[in-house]
Chain A
Amino acid sequence: MKAQRKVWGETVLSLAGSDDRVLVLDADLATSTQAVQVANELPGSFLELGIAEANMVGVAFGLTTLGYRPWLSTFGVFLTSRSLDQIRMMVSQTNAPVRLSGAYAGLLNGSSGKTHQDLEDLATMRAMPNMTVLAPADEYEIAAMMPWIADHDGPVYLRVARDAVEPVFDADYRFVPGRVYELRPGGDVTLVSTGVQTSRVVQAAGLLAENGIEATVVHVPSLKPIDEDGLVAAIGRSPLVITVEEHSVYGGLGGLVAEIMAGQGGPRVIRHGLADRWSESAPNDFLLDKYGLSPRRVADRVGYLLGDRHGVPEAASA
C-alpha cells in the first residue's frame, strides 16, 4: 500500500526527467506533497515560490506561454479556494496546460482540521470550463493518470490523497478519460464513488454482502470529462443510487450524478458526503466514522436507506 502523494512525487520526477517542459512548482510544502523528490533529484526542474499560492498560479501560467508544462503542488485547498480567481482567469479562461495537483484533498489531512480540508474542490474545479477534473482511487490509478495528464494540452486538476488506501486496482490498470469503472456487480443498490473513498466503498459493499445486500460499486475517477452514457449504463437500472464522496454533497460527484440522472428519468439519487457542514481536526478513523465515510458507516447508511431502521438515519447525506 502506497500513499498517492508518494506516487505523485515519484511519477512527476520521472516525467520531469524525460521532458524538459515539466517543471514542478512548490509553495513551501514540498516535503508534504512529495515535490521534494524533484527538488532533490532534479533541482533544475523545481521552482520554489514560497508561501504565495496565487502568485504561484500566475507564474505557472507565465511559464506555459513559453511551452512549459508546470505541475503545481500544494495543499488542494490553497489552490482551489485561495487561488480560485487566479485559476479562473489565468488558467481556465486561457486553457493553459497547468497541472494543479491538490495534495491532501478531502477530509483526511493529518489532523489539520477544517482550515486545511478541501471539500469543495471538485465543485469549483468542475465548474471551470476547459478544466479536466480527476480523482484517482489508489496508487495504481494515479500512476496511470499522470502520464496522460502530462500529454494533455489543457489544464488539469488532480486530487491527490495524503494517506494510503487499500488498492482497488492493480498495476495493469489503464486510465481512459471519462470512463466509469464497475468494480463489483450487485442488484440491490448502486454505490457510486470517486477518489480514495472508492476503496472504503468497496469495503462497505463487502460488509453489506455479509448481511445479504448486494451492491454494485461504480468508480468515477474522471469527473470531467465524463462518459455520460457509460455512467447511465452502469447505474441506470438500479432501484437506488447512492453517491459517496469525501467532499461536500454540493457540486461534486453527487451533483454530477444527480445532474446526469435528472435528464434520464432514472432512479432516485441519494448524495452522501459532507452534508453542508464543516468538520474538525481529528485522526482519520475518527473523522471517517463521525462524518459517515468509514466502510462501516457507509454500510449502515445504505442499510437504512434500504429500509433497515436500525441503520443511520441522519448521517451526512442529502
Chain B
Amino acid sequence: MTTTQQSGTSLGGGRGDLEPMALEKIARQVRWLIVSTVAASKAGHIGGPLSATDMLVALYFHELDIDPAQPRDPERDRFILSKGHCAIGLYSTLALRGYFPVAELATFDHGDSRLQGHPDMKLTPGVDVSTGSLGQGLSAGLGIAIGAKKQDKDFHTWVMLGDGESEEGQVWEAVLSAPRFGVDNLTAIFDVNGLQQYGWPAQERDRFDRSEPLGHVDLESVLTGFGWNVLTINGNDYDQILAAFEQVRAWHGTAGKPTAIVSRTAKGRGISFTEGHFTWHNGVATPEQLEQAHRELFGTDPEGAQR
C-alpha cells in the first residue's frame, strides 16, 4: 500500500482552463485524499464527500473565479458547503487547488488544526462560511447574494446542500424567500445522492437500505414552483456539470431569479465498496480497503499510479 499520493502539491488550474479528462484525473486524487485522510484521522465522513467530489472539482478547477493566493479577495466567487460534514472533500479540493499544503490534510480533525471536522471560515483559507449544523448554508448564501446585488458586485455565490439536509425547514425558508430578491447571482446545488446518515427504513427492501430522503418529492417541480430556475444533471458526469455551469453563467445577472442544480449523484461514488452504501456515510477504511481503493482509483499497480 502507498500513501505517497498525498505528497503532491497544488495542481493549479483556473477558470475554464481544465476540461473533463483533466478534471476526472484530479477527482481521483481528491477521492484518494478523502478516504486516506479519514482513515488516518480514524474518523470522518466518506459517502457525502465522494458523491460531491466531481462537482467540487469542477467548481474549483473550472468554474469559480478565485485566486488561492488571495482567499479573501472581495471580488471572488463564493462557495458554501452547507452539508458541512463533507468538509474533507472540500479540504482535499482546496489543498490540490493550492490554498494550503496537501500535507496539511494529515492534521484533519486533530487538535490545533486549521482543518476542523466541519468547515470553519475563521481557520481555513478558502472556506467562505462556517457550516456543520445542517440546513443553514443557503440562508448565508442568500445574504451574500443580496449584499452583492446591493454593492453592484459581479461575483457568483454557490451553495451545495445535501438531500438529507433538505429535510430542514430553514432550507425551505431560504428557497421561498430567495426569488423575492431577484438573486440571479445565486446557485444552489442539491447533491441528491439518495442516501443520508440513517434515514428512513425502506419498506419491503433490505432492512438496512435507508434510501432517498427526497425520493417522494418532485424536486424539480417544487423548486420551479418556488420560483427558481432548475437544471437537472448527473452530478458525476463532467460534460453535464460543465454544461450546467454554462447555463448558470448565461443566467447570471439576467435571469432575475436564482438557479437550482439538481445534481443526481451516487453516495460513496468512485470506490466500489463505498458506492451506494449508507453505512459508508462515515467510516474508516481498513488497510486492505485502502489498498483496494488506491488500486481502483489509480490502476492495478499502486506504485506506478503516482501521477
Residues of A within 8 A of B (CB): 47, 49-50, 52, 54-68, 85-86, 88-90, 93-95
Contacts and interface: CB of A to CB of B under 8 A. Distances in A.
B258 to A, nearest CB: 13
A90 B130 contact: yes
Interface stretch (B46-54, B56-64, B144-152): B144-152
B151 A66 contact: yes
26 contacts: A50-B176, A52-B177, A54-B135, A54-B139, A54-B169, A55-B139, A55-B170, A56-B139, A58-B140, A58-B142, A58-B143, A58-B170, A59-B140, A61-B143, A62-B139, A63-B146, A65-B78, A66-B148, A85-B133, A89-B130, A89-B133, A90-B130, A90-B139, A93-B120, A93-B130, A94-B130
Contacts, number: 101
Contacts of A62: 129, 139-147
Nearest to A70: B143
Nearest to B139: A58
A59 B173 CA distance: 11
A196 B270 CA distance: 61
* Interface residues on chain B, size class: 35 or more
A54 B171 CA distance: 10
Given A50-B177, A52-B176, A63 B136 contact: no
A94 B122 contact: yes
B128 interface: yes
Nearest to B141: A62
Contacts of A50: 173, 176-177, 180
B121 interface: yes
Contacts of A65: 78, 128-129, 140, 143-144, 147
B141 A90 contact: no
Contacts of B135: 54
Chief secondary structure at chain A's binding surface: helix
B76 to A, nearest CB: 11
Contacts of B147: 62-63, 65-68
B141 A52 contact: no
Given A54-B139, A58-B174, A47 B146 contact: yes
A90 B177 contact: no
Minimum-distance CB pairs A-B, first 4: A62-B143, A58-B139, A52-B173, A66-B147
Contact of A54 (B122, B136, B153): B136
Interface of B: 74, 78, 120-122, 128-133, 135-148, 150-151, 153, 169-170, 173-174, 176-177, 180
Given A50-B176, A61-B129, A90-B139, 9 more contacts: A55-B177, A58-B138, A58-B143, A61-B140, A62-B140, A65-B143, A66-B151, A89-B131, A93-B120
A63 to B, nearest CB: 5
A86 B136 CA distance: 7
Nearest to A88: B133
Contacts of B150: 66
B177 A58 contact: no
A89 B139 contact: no
A44 B176 CA distance: 21
A93 B129 CA distance: 11
A63 B143 contact: yes
Contacts of B146: 47, 59, 62-63
A50 B133 CA distance: 22
A49 B177 contact: yes
A89 B153 CA distance: 26
Contacts of A54: 135-136, 139, 169-170, 173
Contacts of A56: 139
Nearest to B122: A94
A58 B142 CA distance: 8
Contacts of A68: 147
A47 B132 CA distance: 27
A71 to B, nearest CB: 14
B174 A55 contact: yes
Given A52-B177, A65-B128, A85-B133, A90 B140 contact: yes
